Amino acid sequence: MSKTVNGFSKLTKLEKIDWLISNFFDDDIKVKQILMQYWNSNNKLQELHDDFIENTISNFYLPFGIAPNFVINGKDYTIPMAIEESSVVAAASLVAKFWSKRGGFKANVVATKKVGQVHFMYEGDKVKLQNYFSEIKEDLLIATDAITQNMKKRGGGILDIELRDKTTDLANYYQLHVTFETVDSMGANFINSCLEAIANRFENESIQIVMSILSNYVPECLVHAEVSCKVSELGGENSELFAQKFVQAVQIANAETYRAVTHNKGIMNGIDAVVIATGNDFRAIEAGAHAYAAKSGRYKSLTNASVEDGIFKFRIDIPLALGTVGGLTKLHPLSKLSLKMLGNPSAKELMEIIAVAGLAQNFAALRALTTTGIQKGHMKMHLTNIIKQLGANEEDKQYLIDYFEDKTITHNAVVDAYNKLIGEH
């Protein structure tokens, strides 16, 4: 039986749910109960969430946590994080406290350029195309005046337009490569509107516009963050061995792609969590970061570590196109709260904070990997999730937590211990 439907978007939310249940859940009334229990009791707030996307039937919640004790450029921060993975917030908090006693994190924005492109096809003489572009370039900027006037007042706008010959990559393919400064806005809608105005003015009978769109690869919207201290201040029984293995772990991520992907995923655990909490686009950040990791032609670590003259240094350079105005940042109540928690930062300051979150997360992972191993801490955090899945009461929960204090935690081991406990009951 076909499950296609016409006019679905015009149905009410309850009608959409009824259609879903009748077609995919054999009229199971529990499905409606599950979906409706996540509706917000505040009707205005629920309407706000309903309008974020199309065909909404419920809300999908992520835990919203905070990681205190961050010191960045001498300023104290408590960082908001929205993520479903256990141990991420705990690890960030522990590392923040660790480095707060060793001078804290240092961060600075290297550049803030963003990019958009008009992609087009042209089969004529290249010299004629270059001459045409030179003649019309000023008109292309004028064509965006109505769009850019407010951005210019805030210190942003179009920085430059270049004609790029890409015919060695694809026959007859050229582009207008446009660079932007969008100040505290992420700027996606602004950039795309400018590009379409430029394309409309540029197109003629010999130029075929294919598309006009911003790029999420922003290697010139870059932030640097680092920590450093004497090797002897790293702590532990053998701080020199720890520093050596830590540096080697980063070197392995630069030498081995299989490791680099997981290494960088850990960095993005910290970055994405803050990006989501502040109402920014984590998919754009992910795509840009991973492209930057492969800028040499080989996928490598986003972080680097070194020991020179007895000083341990750990650092990250990462492109982050972020906004603190516009989009969800001013619509979602928790996003507004997150930004206020951070002191209502500028986009540059937010870049620094989020880069630090990624660096902290990577330090936590590499410290665990090169010492006790990653599973000990992770599975300890995961233990409570397994216990909840088993439906244990509070007394049994505490027993299992105490029982596994000095034992290896696996899903099967927890299930066996719980079943044994139930049998004893």
Q: What is the pLDDT of residues 239-297, one digit of tens each?
A: 999 999 999 999 999 999 999 999 999 999 999 999 999 999 999 999 999 999 999 99
From 281, 348, 349, 382, active-site residue:
281
Provide Rg for the chain, Cα atoms: 26
In this structure, is the dihedral angle defined by the CA atoms of residues 160, 161, 167 and 173, taken in order, positive or negative?
A: positive
pLDDT per position as a tens digit, 90-133: 999 999 999 999 999 999 999 999 999 999 999 999 999 999 99
Gap between the Cα atoms of 290 and 299, Å rounded: 8
Dihedrals phi, psi of 189, to nearest 5 degrees: -65, -40
From 85, 125, 165, 416, active-site residue:
85
Any idea which fold 114-215 has?
Alpha-Beta Plaits (3.30.70)
The end-to-end CA distance of the chain, in Å, is 50
Residues in a beta bridge with 178: 116, 161
Listed in sequence order, the DSSP H helices in 29-125 are 29-36, 43-50, 88-100
Q: Would residue 286 show up in a list of annotated catalytic residues for this protein?
A: no
Q: Which residues of 137-175 are buried (b: 16+ CB within 10 A; e: fewer)?
A: beebbebbeebbeebeeeebbbeebebeeeeeeeeebbb
Beta strands in 243-393 (DSSP E): 303-308, 311-319
Same fold, 82-106+224-371 and 114-215: no
CA atoms within 13 A of residue 199's CA, in its CB half-sphere: 22
Q: What single-letter amino acid sits at 242?
A: F
Gap between the Cα atoms of 394 and 379, Å rounded: 19
pTM of the model: 0.88
pLDDT per position as a tens digit, 180-213: 999 999 999 999 999 999 999 999 999 999 999 9
Gap between the Cα atoms of 360 and 281, Å rounded: 21
Gap between the Cα atoms of 407 and 389, Å rounded: 20
Q: Which two tokens stand for residue 110?
A: 């290297």
pLDDT per position as a tens digit, 366-380: 999 999 765 555 566
Cβ neighbours, 10 Å, residue 266? 24
Gap between the Cα atoms of 174 and 166, Å rounded: 5
More confident residue, 79 or 404: 79
Gap between the Cα atoms of 94 and 306, Å rounded: 22
From 114, 119, 300, 378, active-site residue:
378
Q: What single-letter amino acid sits at 122?
A: Y
Gap between the Cα atoms of 171 and 121, Å rounded: 8
pLDDT per position as a tens digit, 46-70: 999 999 999 999 999 999 999 999 9
Asked if 285 and 186 count as a contact pair (C-beta separation under 8 A), the reply is no
Gap between the Cα atoms of 46 and 39, Å rounded: 7
Q: Which two tokens stand for residue 105?
A: 């994190």
With cut-offs at 50, 70 and 90, classify the pLDDT of residue 409: confident
What would you measure as the largest C-alpha separation in the chain, in angstroms?
Answer: 88
From 97, 113, 224, 265, active-site residue:
265
Q: Would residue 378 show up in a list of annotated catalytic residues for this protein?
A: yes
Nearest Cα to Cα of residue 268 among 248, 283, 250, 254: 283
Q: Would residue 265 show up in a list of annotated catalytic residues for this protein?
A: yes
pLDDT per position as a tens digit, 127-136: 999 999 999 9
Q: What single-letter amino acid sits at 110?
A: V
Q: Which two tokens stand for residue 127?
A: 């010299």
Nearest Cα to Cα of residue 269 among 189, 336, 346, 368: 368
CATH architecture, domain 82-106+224-371: Alpha-Beta Complex (3.90)
CA 93, chain centre distance (Å): 18
Asked if 316 and 271 count as a contact pair (C-beta separation under 8 A), the reply is no
In this structure, is the dihedral angle defined by the CA atoms of residues 307, 309, 310 and 312, taken in order, positive or negative?
A: negative
Q: Cα–Cα–Cα angle for 141, 144, 150, nearest 5°?
A: 115
Indicate whether 228 pLDDT > 50: yes
With cut-offs at 50, 70 and 90, classify the pLDDT of residue 1: very low
pLDDT in the model for residue 58: 97
Q: Which two tokens stand for residue 409?
A: 């935690």
Average pLDDT over residues 31-45: 95
Q: For the chain, what are the domain ranges?
A: 8-50, 82-106+224-371, 114-215, 376-424
User: Which segment of 245-259, 293-307, 395-409 scores lowest on mean pLDDT?
Assistant: 395-409
Asked if 357 and 363 count as a contact pair (C-beta separation under 8 A), the reply is no
